[in-house]
């Protein structure tokens, strides 16, 4: 089993339940981990025999560009796009963190994590 992952991919986005969150926007971190069994010999050093993490970043970037009220919806959108494109994925984990959420006290981040297991 192989895991390809992105750690703390940073995006500016306009996700939030409250209108002010959508208007102001915020910084978000996205972690993605995708596990799969390689169908081909990885010694051939061929990108087509693995999962391209550049494509994972493109999927996250596209989903982060669509304003949503809930982080759950954002994470699910990323996961759904990965499943649609990489049907051979055995497991997918997506975490979306909102940095400095607008709360009364100091909070470094809030997060939602969604997983898929074949």
Mutual angle of helices 71-85 and 53-64, in 10-degree steps: 140
Which of 74, 59, 58 shows the shortest CA–CA distance to 26? Answer: 74
Length of the chain: 118
3-state secondary structure 41-97: CHHHCCHHHCCCHHHHHHHHHHHHCCCCCCHHHHHHHHHHHHHHHCCCCCEEEEEEE
Give me the active site residues, please: 98
């Amino acid at each position: 089993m192989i895991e390809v992952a992105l750690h703390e991919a940073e995006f500016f986005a306009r996700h939030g339940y409250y209108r002010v969150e959508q208007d102001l926007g915020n910084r978000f971190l996205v972690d993605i981990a995708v596990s799969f069994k390689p169908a081909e010999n990885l010694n051939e050093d061929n990108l087509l025999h693995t999962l391209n993490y550049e494509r994972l970043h493109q999927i996250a970037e596209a989903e982060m560009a669509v304003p949503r009220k809930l982080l759950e919806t954002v994470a699910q959108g990323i996961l759904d796009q990965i499943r649609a494109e990489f049907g051979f994925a055995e497991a997918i984990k997506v975490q979306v963190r909102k940095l400095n959420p607008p709360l009364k006290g100091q909070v470094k981040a809030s997060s939602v994590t969604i997983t898929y297991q074949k």
